[in-house]
Amino acid sequence: MNNDKTLNILGYNEIKETIKSHAASNLGKKLVDEMQPQTDPQIILSRYDEVKEAVKILKEGSGISLGGISDITPYLGKIEKNMFLRPEELVKVSDFLRCIRQLKKSIDAYEHTAPRLFSYSVGLGNYKSIENEIEFCIEGPRVHSRASGDLSKLRKKIDVLHSKRIDKLNKFLTSERNAKLIQESFYSQRDDRYVIPIKASARKLVNGTVIDSSASGSTVYVEIDEIKDLTVEIIMLKAQEEEECNRILWMLSGLILDNINGINDAVFIIGKYDFIFAKGKYSVSIGGREIEIRDDEVINLKKARHPMLGKEAVPLDISVGSDYRTLIITGPNTGGKTITLKTVGLMALMTQSGILPPVGKGSSISIFNKILVDIGDSQSIEQSLSTFSGHMKALVNIVNKSSRKTLVLIDEIGTGTDPKDGASLGIAILEEIYNRGAITLSSTHYSKIKEYSEIHEGFLNASMDFDRQTLKPLYKLLIGVAGESNALWISKELGLSDKIIERVIKINSTHEIVTAKKINKFSKKKSRVEEIKKASAPIESKRVIYNKGDRVLLNETGDYALVYEHKADENSVVVFIDGKYSDVQEKRVTLDKTMDVLYPTGYNLDQLFTSFKSRKLEKDIRKGRFKNMKDLKERISSLNEG
């Protein structure tokens, strides 16, 4: 929809960072990173309904269980590559499976109050048996002895032999005969070997094997012969212990592999829940509320506030697109013109991302396919462009890309050059953008642009109000009011003589007035949003019966699929997508278009579910194009492999 530069200028990426802080897991954070404003009304309304339901749940205070979520995707990847998981990895998978169960239990309470969010949980499986098995076999970072009888026996043998080894070491250390040989009265461990520090000069008086020595060479660390056989036996038993532990880890990893598809689906669904509720929490935090979504290219905002300004934001009332398509905003510097443009742009971006914007009751906004922006310093240091050149380059790009369902936001159009030329350029550009069908908000200081707007149908002036006593901006937009010359007013208040003020007025009045020129008018198209709302509106809870060839939307992924069969008795639908058939619960799909709308009467629906290769093979068989059975078998084999 929009490039990164536009999103950055309007502050969209800052909003994404704030939403990420509300996500409970990396799964949700990743989806926030991938979030982009949508243009498909079906997807926008679906995403918007999700967040409205999430906000409703959050405001009730109970919420849903999303605690302890972690991204287990790397662990599932290991299992799919035929590798077993370590104990600590299995514990994290078990924790995630528990989250699935707890989430499913908590969302069940909202089956009727949040039906869309509830429908996503239909695809979550129950993996309590795997949880129990992991919990029984794993304790902390190791396999528990109770995991198998063989493991328990091995560890008991190791413990007995180790106790004997320690006894022999202590006996050697406490012997009076060895006191003169020992450097220090303790034993230590080198890998699996237990050693005693012996004076290097007494090395030959001790029966044992030197395993290590000190840096100075005055001490050698000796494994005494009395424990050598015990150590060898323990090492062998530990190898058997490791083998048994690995067998148990393979067994547990195998249980996960058997359910890998369902668990992968659950990772996506739970990440989606986290993402939706992060948007919901953000919407609540900024005072977001429901806004009517339309596609009639009309913006009607009431008490809209810039989300990043918080309580400091002055509520904005603005309307454009109904009686006029271009709004020209005038006012003093730092008077709020730029914030007004950014606020309008953000309201559109947020709505088309499924976020409840901070607006007043009765607000509405249209869906835009493009939002084109020239706000701030357009100077490009890399390309050595002047401020005016950079500004014009951005405007040329905007003009070329403008069309119907485009929102254009331009700050201080025509600046950076001679005022007369700048005003003329601004008028010509605004006129062209209008004729291309875009909705435009543009700020300016030029009187000529303001005069043009006064006499042209489809254009309207607005101004940022300021306090004439304190000369301070009020950050309030007055629509339909052309701003007076604030510069003259302020100059007069600061002591500039009436004579000079009158001269300025006279000079202005002698300038050429822009003559009215005929501009295009635009007819309203049928609302796509209303069609979707009517199609998806519940009709006394009447059940949808799907026919072969109907197109449906998969609620969880936003992908489209074709209906192959409706298993009404089983409450499921067989859909065809990406060349494969999938059995999906009724609640997980939404009707997009019926087959009678998509295809002409008498259309052979079967060919929708048959690949091109299969149809060509059937045709070649009917026409006898095979020399012998060998050629036919090769074609059939090739088809099956494909």
Per-residue model confidence as pLDDT tens digits over 252-292: 999 999 999 999 999 999 999 999 999 999 999 999 999 99
**What number of other Cβ atoms are within 10 A of residue 69's Cβ?**
23
How many residues make up the chain in this entry?
642
Q: What is the mean pLDDT of residues 417-424?
A: 71
List strand residue ranges (DSSP E) for 331-395, in order: 364-366, 370-374
Q: Backbone phi, then psi, for 60, in 5-degree steps?
A: -70, -20
Residue with tokens 């009436």, as numbered in its chain = 498
**What string of DSSP letters covers 552-620?**
EEETTT--EEEEEEEEGGGTEEEEEETTEEEEEEGGGEEEEE-HHHHS-TT--GGGGGS-HHHHHHHHH
Tell me how crowded residue 541 is: count the other CB atoms within 10 A of its CB.
5
Q: Over the chain, what is the mean pLDDT? A: 85
Contacts of 573 (CB under 8 A, 6+ apart): 546, 552, 563, 565, 566, 567, 583, 584, 585, 586, 589
- pLDDT surpasses 60 at 435: yes
More confident site: 181 or 620: 181
Residue 547 pLDDT: 92
The answer to whether the CB of 617 falls within 8 A of the CB of 639 is yes
- Averaged over 408-423, what is the pLDDT? 77
What is the pLDDT, as a whole number, of residue 66?
78
Tens-digit pLDDT profile for residues 171-229: 999 998 998 999 988 999 988 899 999 999 999 999 999 999 999 999 999 999 999 99
Residue 246 has pLDDT above 70, yes or no: yes
Query: DSSP class of residue 56?
Result: H
Quick one: pLDDT band at residue 641, thresholds 50, 70, 90? Answer: low
Q: Average pLDDT for residues 56-71, to the nearest whole number?
A: 81
Determine the Cα–Cα distance for residues 484 and 194; give it in Å rounded to an integer.
93
CA–CA–CA angle 179, 182, 183 (5° rounding): 130
User: Which residues are within 8 A (CB) of 519 and not within 5 positions of it... i.e. 6 or more apart?
Assistant: 431, 434, 435, 456, 457, 458
- 295 burial class (0-12, 13-18, 19+ CB within 10 angstroms)? buried
What burial class does residue 5 get, using C-beta atoms within 10 Å of its C-beta: 0-12 exposed, 13-18 middle, 19+ buried? exposed
pLDDT at position 620 over 90: no
Three-state secondary-structure class, residue 263: helix
pLDDT, tens only, 505-528:
666 665 555 556 667 777 666 677
- Residue 474 is predicted with a pLDDT of 58
What is the distance between the alpha carbons of residues 380 and 374, in angstroms, rounded to a whole number? 13
Dump pLDDT digits (tens) for 542-597: 788 999 999 988 887 888 899 999 998 888 999 988 878 888 888 888 888 898 88
For 502, residues 6+ apart whose C-beta sits below 8 A from its C-beta are none
Q: State the Cα angle at 409 between 405 and 410, rounded to 5°.
A: 140
Strand 473-479 and strand 459-466: the pairing is: antiparallel
Structure tokens given for 423: 């005003």
Rounded to the nearest 10 degrees, the angle between the axes of helix 612-622 and helix 629-641 is 170
**What value does the CA radius of gyration of the chain take, rounded to a whole number of Å?**
37
Q: Looking at residue 13, what is its pLDDT? A: 94
Mean pLDDT of 330-350: 86
Cβ atoms within 10 Å of 166's Cβ, excluding its own: 14
> Which pLDDT band holds residue 314 (cuts at 50, 70, 90)?
confident
Q: Cα–Cα distances in Å, from 203 out to 60, 110, 165, 178?
A: 78, 78, 21, 12
Phi, psi of 598 (to 5 degrees): -80, -35
CA 431 to chain centre: 38
Q: Kindly report which listed range (377-381, 385-389, 476-480, 504-508) carries the lowest average pLDDT score.
A: 377-381
Residue 385 is predicted with a pLDDT of 46
Q: Which two tokens stand for residue 287?
A: 């005072």
Give the pLDDT confidence score for residue 421 in this predicted structure: 72
Give residue 355's pLDDT: 96
Q: How far apart are CA 180 and CA 196, in angstroms?
A: 13
What pLDDT does residue 495 have?
72
Pull the structure tokens for residue 286. 């900024």
pTM of the model: 0.77
Percent of the chain surpassing pLDDT 70: 83
Helix axes 26-34, 12-20, angle to 10 degrees: 170
Domains of the chain: 4-127+259-285 (1.10.1420.10), 147-242 (1.10.1420.10), 292-509 (3.40.50.300), 532-632 (2.30.30.30)
